[in-house]
Amino acid sequence: MPLNTILELSAKESLSDYVTAIAWLPIGNTLAVASGAGEVRLLKNFVSMALCQPTGQSIDALAFSFDGKWLATGGQDGTITLWQMDGDSPKMSDTLECGSWVDRLNWNPAGNYLAFTAVFD
């Protein structure tokens, strides 16, 4: 009996450090990937685009809003960054200083409300 392949490699991207978070845009074919070096890249229709260059501080959380209009990123530097996903090129819209390492992000499915957790010593 022949084995049927159910997985296929569609894209391959190299980051400068290990992957810390991934998230699919709920509309379309876009994947966000973050690294331990602090970079964030988008693979849109399997074409790579840099959102953030490496900073030396990890990005540990990525979340797309349920309407697909926003990407939130957060990590070791204690900052949440909101990216507006309208159009071909995402634009940084706003930042929120949390004062501590952001390790989780999640959008409310009923509206544009963002929840996050931060690690405080």
Q: Looking at the domain assignment, is residue 77 inside a domain?
A: yes
Q: Looking at the domain assignment, is residue 113 inside a domain?
A: yes
For residue 47, what is the DSSP state? E
C-alpha closest to that of 56 among 83, 31, 36, 72? 36
Q: Collapsing DSSP states into helix, strand and coil, what is residue 120?
A: coil
Q: Which residue has the tokens 């797309």?
A: 64
d(CA 75, CA 89): 22
Q: Looking at the domain assignment, is residue 74 inside a domain?
A: yes
pLDDT value for 1: 56
19-44 per-position pLDDT tens digit: 999 999 998 889 999 999 999 999 98
Q: Looking at the domain assignment, is residue 81 inside a domain?
A: yes
Q: Looking at the domain assignment, is residue 1 inside a domain?
A: no
Q: Could you say which residues of the chain have pLDDT below 50?
A: none
Neighbours of 48 (CB within 10 A): 14
pLDDT value for 90: 92
Q: Which structure tokens are listed for 88?
A: 């071909």
Structure pTM? 0.87
pLDDT value for 28: 83
Q: Looking at the domain assignment, is residue 3 inside a domain?
A: no
Q: Looking at the domain assignment, is residue 5 inside a domain?
A: no
Question: How many structural domains comprise the chain?
Answer: 1
Look up the domain containing 62 and give its range: 19-119
The vertex-51 CA angle with 28 and 113, nearest 5°, equals 65
